[in-house]
Amino acid sequence: MHPNIQKSWNILKTATFFIVLVTLLFATSVINYLLTPKIAHLCDFYDNRNTTSFDVTREECESQRRATVLFIVFCLVRLISNKFEGFIGSKFLKTCSVRATFPGRHFGAALGFPFLTRSLSNSIRVASAPIFLVIIFASTSIAFYPYAKDFAKLSRLIYNAVQRRHYLYNRSMIYTFISIYFYFSTVLIELLDVSFGIYCHQTIFGFPVLFPNFNFPLFLFLLHTVILQHHRAMPAIIYEASFSNFSFRIYNFQVNNEDCFIQLNRMRCITNKDCPQMSTAFPLDATPSKTTTIQRRAFEGRIIQIRHYRELDDILPCKVSTQVRKVSTFSSRPPSYCVPPLPRDLPSTILDLE
């Protein structure tokens, strides 16, 4: 494929990805905004009706129907976004063993039941009863337990990573702390809002953003992925597979297939383990039988000798690639020039010599 066509195709895929992502995040809010006038017309028959103190009012009718519609829409959006989370996790994001064992994906439809129960309870005048509030809070806490468990696990991983100096740059650490802060804030706000409805009606450009209008399980999944995506590049290791059988010729050696160097570029996860998916191992174009000691010292990596090539099956975290690469040496790096500081007892300028 032509490079320009490939670049345009990548831009189109990225734009489509973000459009679908934003649509799934605010789909329930947009539908709620569009259906608000129609839901209001469903309760027009209450205007010409003589109601008593025990009958459902027009406002309560609208609240019940809106809550029911939003609950159905939220479940449908979560069903689609749950498939989308699995798709972006395997196609767009980098694969990682930690995300495979700790994906952070939850359907989240159970969160709609406490919201629906609290919204429908207004018509039977039990929404303010203490025992009812305790039941709603307990059921909401059970529904939020997977997210609280993930938050505790992420916090422990971040704490251990900071202790091991896993983050080599302050930028990566700042992104991680911002992500975990938004994760905690989102879980806390949604927990209090679903349980008690203590937050007032909040909108962005006229679209409501509180539960269930905002697809916060998808938002938490993105934050979860951002935290686990950071990997640390470890120093390279070069395994030398020495040969045991050789025949001497006049000017060279005839060696077997085990006369080779295998370089391992390790990528370490936040769990302090080498990631099999992101680490790479490949043979080098140099051979141990034709490499001098001076050349070995210039290799960019620590050399470890092994007896047999098959020992790598138990050592390497990933499979060895069939593509042979060129040896990377310290001399092949671009030179960096720096001027050493002068001693204090030496003159720093010509004027000091006078």
- pLDDT tens-place string over residues 222-241: 999 889 888 888 888 888 87
Confidence tier at 221 by pLDDT (50, 70, 90): very high
* Mean pLDDT across 196-219: 82
* Mean pLDDT across 110-126: 76
* Mean pLDDT across 183-190: 92
Does any domain span residue 81?
yes
Residue 112 CB-density burial (10 A; 0-12 exposed, 13-18 middle, 19+ buried):
buried
pLDDT of residue 220: 93
* Mean pLDDT across 341-346: 42
**Phi, psi dihedral angles at 155 (to 5 degrees):** -65, -40
Q: Are residues 265 and 124 in the same domain?
A: no
Q: Are residues 250 and 181 in the same domain?
A: no
Query: Measuring CA to CA, which residue among 193, 54, 224 is closest to residue 115?
Result: 193
Q: Are residues 289 and 304 in the same domain?
A: yes
DSSP 288-322: GGG--HHHHHTBSSEEEEES-GGGHHHH-SSPBPS
Contact in structure between 39 and 69 (CB atoms under 8 Å): yes
End position of a domain, from candidates 201, 230, 259: 230
Q: Comparing 318 with 186, which gets the higher pLDDT?
A: 186
Going by C-beta distance under 8 Å and a sequence separation of 6 or more, which residues neighbour residue 267? 231, 232, 233, 234, 274, 275, 278, 279
Q: Are residues 167 and 278 in the same domain?
A: no
Does any domain span residue 274?
yes
Query: Measuring CA to CA, which residue among 274, 261, 235, 234 is closest to residue 320?
Result: 261
Does any domain span residue 27?
yes
Q: Are residues 313 and 221 in the same domain?
A: no
Does any domain span residue 347?
no
Q: Are residues 82 and 162 in the same domain?
A: yes
Contact in structure between 230 and 167 (CB atoms under 8 Å): yes
Q: Comparing 330 with 211, which gets the higher pLDDT?
A: 211
Q: Are residues 259 and 136 in the same domain?
A: no
Does any domain span residue 354?
no
CA quadruple 82, 85, 91, 95: dihedral positive or negative?
negative
Q: Comparing 154 with 301, which gets the higher pLDDT?
A: 154
Going by C-beta distance under 8 Å and a sequence separation of 6 or more, which residues neighbour residue 165? none
Confidence tier at 177 by pLDDT (50, 70, 90): very high
Q: What is the mean pLDDT of the chain?
A: 77
* Mean pLDDT across 315-333: 74
Query: Measuring CA to CA, which residue among 244, 183, 247, 245 is closest to residue 217?
Result: 183
pLDDT of 48 above 50 = yes
Which domain range does residue 22 map to? 3-46+54-230
pLDDT of 128 above 80 = no
Going by C-beta distance under 8 Å and a sequence separation of 6 or more, which residues neighbour residue 225? 89, 93, 99, 104
End position of a domain, from candidates 230, 249, 276: 230
Q: Are residues 185 and 241 in the same domain?
A: no
User: What is residue 52's DSSP assignment?
Assistant: -
Q: Quote the number of domains for the chain.
A: 2
Confidence tier at 92 by pLDDT (50, 70, 90): low
Min mean pLDDT across 48-52, 99-103, 251-255 is at 251-255
End position of a domain, from candidates 173, 200, 230: 230
> What is the C-alpha to C-alpha distance for residues 232 and 165, in angstroms, rounded to an integer?
10
Does any domain span residue 339?
no
pLDDT of residue 107: 86
pLDDT of residue 24: 92
Q: Look-up: residue for tokens 């994001």?
A: 93
Confidence tier at 152 by pLDDT (50, 70, 90): very high
Contact in structure between 147 and 115 (CB atoms under 8 Å): no
Q: Look-up: residue for tokens 């995040």?
A: 25
Contact in structure between 255 and 247 (CB atoms under 8 Å): no
Does any domain span residue 140?
yes
- Helix ranges (H only) for 241-303 are 293-297
pLDDT of 331 above 70 = no
pLDDT of 251 above 50 = no
Does any domain span residue 262?
yes
Q: Are residues 145 and 270 in the same domain?
A: no
Q: Are residues 111 and 260 in the same domain?
A: no
Highest-scoring range by mean pLDDT, 22-26, 114-118, 128-132:
22-26
Predicted structure pTM score: 0.78
Kindly state the percentage of the chain with pLDDT values over 70: 79
Torsion of CA 201, 206, 211, 213, to 10 degrees: 160
Contact in structure between 235 and 302 (CB atoms under 8 Å): yes
Confidence tier at 330 by pLDDT (50, 70, 90): low
CA-to-CA dists, residue 116 to 74, 194, 237, 272, angstroms: 11, 9, 57, 43
pLDDT of residue 159: 92
Contact in structure between 284 and 303 (CB atoms under 8 Å): no
Q: Are residues 14 and 127 in the same domain?
A: yes
pLDDT of residue 96: 76
Highest-scoring range by mean pLDDT, 184-193, 309-318, 344-353:
184-193
Q: Are residues 223 and 239 in the same domain?
A: no
